Each structure stands twice: as C-alpha cells, then as structure tokens.
Structure 1
Amino acid sequence: MVKERILETALKMFRIYGVKGVTMFDIARDCGISKKTVYEHFEDKQALVGEGLQQLLTNHGDYLKDNIQTSTNAIEELLNSTRYMTNMAKTLNPVMLHDLQKYHPDIWNNVERFKSDGVLHGIKENLKRGMTEGLYRQTLDINIVARMRQLQLEAAFDPEQYPADLYEMQNVMDQVTAHYILGIATTTGQQMANQFLK
C-alpha cells in the first residue's frame, strides 16, 4: 500500500516537474512519510523511476488491449486510442521525457521498445482490422502506412514541430488523425469517420 502511494506520488511529480527536478526527499514529503521509508521500498531514484515508467507503459498497454475489445470497429478503436494518448500527453511535461533520455538511458530504452513493439504493432493490427471490416482500403501497404502513422504521432507530440504557444495539442491531434483516417478509408469508412470527426 505504501509502495503504491510512493509510486503514484513520484509519477505525478515527474509528470509535472520532470525527473531531474524531483528528489527522494520531495517525494517523501509529498507522501507524508520519511525519506527512510521511501528507501525501504526503492533502493534509489533509478529504481523508482524505472518502476514508475514501467507502470505507465503497462497501463497504456492494458488500455490499448481493452480498447480493441470494446470498440465496435477499427475507426472507433483508432479514435479512442488517439483521444487517450492526447489526454495523457496533456498531463505530461516534455521535460520528463527529456530527462529520461538524458539521465536514464536504460529506462528510456523501454520507452523506445514500447513504441516499436507496442504502438507500431497496435497500428498494424488496427489497419488489418479496418481492411477486414471493409473500412480501410485493401491496397494499403501495412508496413509503410503504420510507420507513417507512428511518425505522424511522434511529430504531433514534438514541441519543436508544434510549439505549445502556437498549437493546441488537441487541435493538432484532431487534424493529423482526420487526415490519416480519410487517407486510408474506403468510401464506407469515410462516411463512418465523418460521423465521428464532426
């Protein structure tokens, strides 16, 4: 119970302030426990960061699996997962990702693996589903289109491509997703997509 509270608090603080700017003392104080108690559950900050990030990735993976089961078709599945990612990005300070890359490269490798194994695989499966349902064009090259979509998502989340003071994240995601769906959809798929995209 205490361990879960520490993890939850640490993740919340990392998402707001970045990883480097948060100390074990800060986490202990925010939890209302001693620093010694934090160290009883986590050997050091590296261990806490690693476990916290793994939990984030696991939650994300679980959501994507559930979404496949509960969505009535490929387009609904795609739009739900895009909304989920957008909402998650809104609560994430880009400094956290920068800190992970710079100060915790081993942990960052897990993010890169998740992007290639989890996200890219999920995009390919969604394309296959949409083609089977007759909502996406049969002529799509799944490997090319999936990679294109992944690059599109990475660009949408990149503050260098879409600076926050000039672009609203929700609008960027809505625009790139509408462009993507209407580009891969059959006539039937486009009609369905237009109902969701209004």
Structure 2
Amino acid sequence: MELKERILLKAEALFWKFGTRSITMDDISRDIGISKKTLYQHFTDKDDIVYQVMLYRLDKNRENVSCKMATAHNPIEEILLASEIMREHLAEMNPTLWFDVQRHYPRAWEVCTEFKEKFVLESIRANLKKGIEQALYRPEIDVEIMARLRVELIRMAFDTEVFPRGLTAMVEVQIQLLHHFVRGILTEKGLLIYNQYVKEHQNDPASTTL
C-alpha cells in the first residue's frame, strides 16, 4: 500500500471515530508514525486531507455499492443490499462527522453533495422505476419525492437532536427507517418477496440487514 493511501485510511479512521474538528495534523502524523514534514509532502493542510479522505471514501463506496447491487435478483433486494453496505461502513462513525464537514470544510462537503445528487439519488430513482415496472412498488408513488425522502431518512439518522445517541445505536435507527420506507412503497407482490427476504436473513449472523 502506498504511503498516501495509508495516510488516507488512518486519517479516515480518526475522523470516523472522533470527528474532524478535534483531530489535528499532529494527531494524524503521530498515529501513522511519520513526521509532519512527510505528511505535508502529500497534503497541503487539514482542509486538503479532509477533502481527499471524503473523495477516497465515496469513490470506494460507489464501487462497493455498484458491485453489490449487481448481484441482486430484484429491486427490493437491491435497495436492501445497498443499505447494508452503507451501514457496515457507517456503524462506527461519529454522528457529528457529517455536520462538522458541512459547517467547516466546504470543499469536502461539495464532494459529499455531488455524491448524493449524482450517485445516491440517481441509484434510488433507478431502483424505484425498476420496482414500479416489475410491479413490486406501488405505481402511484412519485419517484422524485420518494427518492429524496429516502436520502433525507439516511441523513436524519445522523442527527443526534432527532435520535440522541443514548436512545439507540445509529445503525439500528438506519435499519428501522429503511424498512419503514421499503414497506411503504411495496405492492402485494412486492410484500411477498420482501417477507421472504426478511425470513431468509433474520437468522443470519453475518447479515446486518435486520
């Protein structure tokens, strides 16, 4: 692994655990075991490293989700698998991270916004259209409204004012919101497939879907 990628992974782990504001360049260099001089040979400042960490992570997420979704047998399994990948990565994330990035790192936040608009929303729209075409989702749903609702439900799970950390784990919140959303758009045919999927995965210790 190249040094720059190792730095990105180490910095990402620190940001995910503690958020971005409390982590300094000194913390990053010390955690990796390199000098600050070496760190600055790869990144101009902390703003740059936050930006590149987000760019690196979102590219990996896009790749992982696309590969996983390609294995799905139907739109219902597709949306559940995509959400599972997201939760696997976000399980240990400090909920304040996204809000810190939004407030203090505009360049990194622009990358996050682009990922949401060009990948997440487009993927959900495509999934909803496919589900309607296959009579698994209700034909009367508004694809644009439902796609944006799904994105907002994901974002809401990070909001500690809505879901205090002591109330329940963020992953559990994501699971509950996902299944609430999916059940609300299913036809009777879709509900049969959904229930079968739930039955097959609820006793699977390797699955985080339920």
| 1:49 counterpart letter in structure 2 | V
**For residue 63 of structure 1, what is the aligned residue in structure 2?**
64
8 Å contact from structure 1 (residues 178, 197) kept in 2: no
**For residue 83 of structure 1, what is the aligned residue in structure 2?**
84
Can you list the C-alpha shifts for 1:155-196, whole angstroms capped at 9, x where unaligned? 223221111101233332232222222211111110111122
8 Å contact from structure 2 (residues 157, 174) kept in 1: yes
**For residue 94 of structure 1, what is the aligned residue in structure 2?**
95
| 1:137 counterpart letter in structure 2 | R
Q: CA deviation at 1:134?
A: 2.3
Q: CA deviation at 1:19?
A: 1.3
Are 1:25 and 2:26 matched, yes or no?
A: yes
**For residue 116 of structure 1, what is the aligned residue in structure 2?**
117
Q: CA deviation at 1:51?
A: 0.8
| 2:178 counterpart letter in structure 1 | T
CA distance in 2, matches of 1:23, 1:148: 35
8 Å contact from structure 2 (residues 47, 105) kept in 1: yes
Q: CA deviation at 1:38?
A: 0.8
**For residue 54 of structure 1, what is the aligned residue in structure 2?**
55
CA distance in 1, matches of 2:175, 2:93: 19
TM-score for both structures, normalised by structure 2: 0.87
Name segments (4+ residues, structure 1) moved above 3 Å: none
8 Å contact from structure 2 (residues 79, 127) kept in 1: yes
CA distance in 1, matches of 2:176, 2:96: 25
What RMSD over aligned residues (CA atoms) do the two structures have, in Å?
Answer: 1.6
8 Å contact from structure 2 (residues 125, 144) kept in 1: yes
Helix, strand or coil at the partner of 1:194: helix
Q: CA deviation at 1:2?
A: 1.0
Can you list the C-alpha shifts for 1:46-102, whole angstroms capped at 9, x where unaligned? 211111110111111112221221111111111111122222222211232232122
**For residue 3 of structure 1, what is the aligned residue in structure 2?**
4
**For residue 181 of structure 2, what is the aligned residue in structure 1?**
180
Q: Which moved more, 1:97-106 or 1:188-197?
A: 97-106
Count of aligned positions: 198
Helix, strand or coil at the partner of 1:94: coil
8 Å contact from structure 2 (residues 96, 158) kept in 1: no
CA distance in 1, matches of 2:14, 2:172: 26
**For residue 150 of structure 1, what is the aligned residue in structure 2?**
151
Structure 2: stretches of 5+ with no match in the other structure: 200-210
Q: Equivalences for 1:37-52 in 2 at 5 Å?
A: 37-52=38-53
Structure 1: stretches of 5+ with no match in the other structure: none
CA distance in 2, matches of 1:182, 1:98: 29
CA distance in 1, matches of 2:143, 2:15: 36
- Identical-residue share of aligned pairs (%): 37
**For residue 170 of structure 1, what is the aligned residue in structure 2?**
171
Q: CA deviation at 1:150?
A: 1.8
**For residue 133 of structure 2, what is the aligned residue in structure 1?**
132
